[in-house]
C-alpha cells in the first residue's frame, strides 16, 4: 500500500509533478498519483484528505499552479504532513503559485518546495526522508543516492572549453 500520495490540481501539472514520482521510484518508495482540484473538484479534495491517513498514506505531496490553494486546503483537512509544490504558471512563471502556497497562516503547516521540476523532485526526496526516519533500509538508499550525487560532482570537476 503506498505511503506517499502525489496529488495535483490538473493533468497539466503532471509533466512537473512526475519528477516527484520519478524520485520516489528511484528510491524504491511506492506512491499513488492523481488529479484532485481544489476549485474544480472540492468534494473530492475533502474526501481524499479526510480519508488519506485511514488509507495508509503518511505523506502527501500536492502540486498546483496559479491561485494554488490545493496544498493548504488538503492540510486543512488532515494531520498528515503536506509538501506543497508551486507549479510554474504561464502568466506569472509560478511566483503566484509560490506565494499562494508558502504563506500559510500560523496553525496549519505546508512545507513549501521550490517552483517547478526541482521542487517536485525535492518533494519526492523529502517525502522519502520523512519515511526514512522509521525505515532504515530506505534511509540507506537515500544515503547511497546522495553519495552517488557527490561522487558524480567530484569526478567531473575539470572544466574545458568546448
Ligand atoms: C491549477 O490551475 C492547476 O494546478 C494548474 O497548475 C492550473 C492550470 O490548470 P489547467 O487550466 O491547465 O487545467 O488548478
Query: Would you say the C-alpha torsion 26, 21, 60, 98 has a positive or negative sign?
Result: positive
Q: Within 10 Å of residue 162's Cβ, how many Cβ atoms? A: 2
The arithmetic mean of pLDDT across residues 127-148, rounded, is: 98
Q: Is residue 160 part of a domain?
A: no
Residue 24: CATH number of its domain? 3.40.50.1970
Residue 64, ligand 1, Cβ within 6 A: yes
Domain count, the chain: 1
pLDDT above 90 covers what percent of the chain?
A: 99
pLDDT attached to residue 27: 98
Tell me whether residue 10 is annotated as binding.
yes
The arithmetic mean of pLDDT across residues 73-90, rounded, is: 98
Q: Is residue 161 part of a domain?
A: no
The model's pTM is: 0.97
Q: Is residue 102 part of a domain?
A: yes
Rounded distance from Cα 151 to ligand 1 centre (Å): 38
Cβ-contact 13, 37 below 8 angstroms: no
Q: Is residue 68 part of a domain?
A: yes
With 0-12 / 13-18 / 19 or more C-beta atoms within 10 angstroms meaning exposed / middle / buried, residue 52 is: buried
* Cell representation of residue 17: 509533478
Rounded distance from Cα 9 to ligand 1 centre (Å): 6
* Owning domain of residue 22: 4-154
Q: Is residue 159 part of a domain?
A: no
ipTM associated with this complex = 0.96
pLDDT attached to residue 4: 98
Residue 71, ligand 1, Cβ within 6 A: no
Per-residue pLDDT band for 118 (boundaries 50, 70, 90) equals very high
pLDDT attached to residue 98: 98
Residue 87, ligand 1, Cβ within 6 A: yes
Residue 110, ligand 1, Cβ within 6 A: no
Amino acid at each position: 500500500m503506498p505511503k506517499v500520495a502525489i496529488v495535483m490540481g490538473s493533468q497539466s501539472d503532471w509533466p512537473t509533478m512526475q519528477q516527484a514520482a520519478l524520485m520516489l521510484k528511484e528510491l524504491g518508495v511506492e506512491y499513488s498519483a492523481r488529479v484532485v482540484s481544489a476549485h474544480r473538484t472540492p468534494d473530492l479534495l475533502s474526501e481524499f484528505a479526510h480519508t488519506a491517513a485511514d488509507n495508509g498514506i503518511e505523506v502527501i505531496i500536492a502540486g498546483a499552479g496559479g491561485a494554488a490553494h490545493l496544498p493548504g486546503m488538503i492540510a486543512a483537512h488532515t494531520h498528515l504532513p503536506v509538501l506543497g509544490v508551486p507549479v510554474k504558471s504561464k502568466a506569472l512563471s509560478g511566483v503566484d503559485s509560490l506565494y499562494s502556497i508558502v504563506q500559510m497562516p500560523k496553525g496549519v503547516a505546508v512545507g513549501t518546495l521550490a517552483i517547478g521540476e526541482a521542487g517536485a523532485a525535492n518533494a519526492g526526496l523529502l517525502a522519502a526522508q520523512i519515511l526514512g526516519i522509521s525505515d532504515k533500509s530506505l534511509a540507506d538508499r537515500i544515503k547511497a543516492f546522495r553519495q552517488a550525487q557527490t561522487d558524480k560532482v567530484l569526478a567531473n570537476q575539470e572544466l574545458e572549453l568546448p
